[in-house]
Amino acid sequence: MALVRTGSGRAPNATVRPKELNGAIVTASRLRAADDVRLPSKKVDRVHRIDLTGGMTKYNWAINGKPFDMSDPTAAPLVIEEGQRVRLDFTNRTGMWHPMHLHGHTYQLGSSGPRKDTAIVLPKKKLSVIFDADNPGRWMLHCHNAYHGEAGMMALVAYRA
């Protein structure tokens, strides 16, 4: 721990532990969405496979083996349609964690898991999320590790009203 500042007070004793740090540590898979925000049961209309690829040696991060093309950012979007229930099947083929973030939407982990806009895909693991296509536009899906995203681990999700 570090002391940033005390305001007008004195620095606490080095053994002080804030009560906020005494809670249980849980993973998102152990959390449940509240009833009023849980997505209603519905069949999935569209599935997109999202392979997270690349590595530190060549620093060649990508989605589905292709780095995002900054010179042509609207090329090859992941196409969906308004009103669809969409499932993204992330497969992390790398040895690093990737916090995957979707702009303009929240997704749900499983049928009753938490609603999030970013979910960690662990190394060599798979994670599926679902969302409803209820906010038409062009939205970025990217690794929230900015270095990985800027190196190419991004894709465009696009649909019209």
Residue type, 156: L
The domain locations on the chain are 77-129
Q: Which helix (H) or strand (E) holds 143?
A: strand 137-143
pLDDT in tens, 28-66: 888 899 989 999 999 999 999 999 999 999 999 999 999
What per-residue confidence (pLDDT) applies to 3?
73
- From residue 116, alpha-carbon distances to 18, 75, 92 in Å are 27, 27, 18
The string of DSSP letters for 46-93 reads EEEEEEEE--TTTT--EETTB---TTSTTSS-EE--TT-EEEEEEEE-
What per-residue confidence (pLDDT) applies to 22?
87
User: In whole angstroms, what is the distance from residue 28 CA to residue 5 CA?
Assistant: 32
pLDDT in tens, 102-142: 999 999 998 889 999 999 999 999 999 999 999 999 999 99
Residue 57's region, left for phi above 0, alpha for psi from -120 to 50, else beta, is alpha
pTM, entire model: 0.85
User: In whole angstroms, what is the distance from residue 46 CA to residue 151 CA?
Assistant: 27
pLDDT in tens, 4-28: 776 788 888 888 888 888 888 888 8
Per-residue tokens: 12: 């606490």
